[in-house]
Amino acid sequence: MKFKWWYGVLILALFLALLSPLASSSPDGLERVAEDKGFMETAREAVFEIIPDYVLPGVGNEAGATILAGIIGTVMLFGIGYGLAQLLKAKR
């Protein structure tokens, strides 16, 4: 099988998922504003939880759980994006 250009991008995305435990855990822009301006407590809990906070539940090692969550999401989105594009082309 010939190596296609986009395999490289997919490998890069999976590599980024491996780096996910290194991400800054500081609040993001909106969270910072919500904390500073005093409306953080208006946030409601999620209705249901599957992989909350990008940490796969039931995995002891937090870095490992984060990496697994990242890989699951990356693979899912590749499948969804590719499948959707295929579907759109078929529909034409």
Asked if 68 touches other proteins (CB under 8 A), the answer is: no
Q: Spell out, one character per residue from 16 to 55, where the chain touches other proteins: x when CB under 8 A holds, - when not.
A: xx-xx-xxxxxxxxx-xxx-xx-x--xxx-xx-xxxxxx-
Q: In Å, what is the CA distance from 25 to each residue of 33, 39, 51?
A: 16, 20, 17
Cα angle value 80/31/22 (rounded, 5°): 65
CA within 13 Å, CB half, 41: 1
Task: Provide, rounded to whole angstroms, the least separation between the CB of residue 63 and other proteins.
Answer: 13
Asked if 85 touches other proteins (CB under 8 A), the answer is: yes
Contact 54, 63 (CB under 8 A): no
Residue ranges in contact with other proteins by CB under 8 A: 4-6, 9-10, 12-14, 16-17, 19-20, 22-30, 32-34, 36-37, 39, 42-44, 46-47, 49-54, 66, 69-70, 72-86, 88-89, 91-92
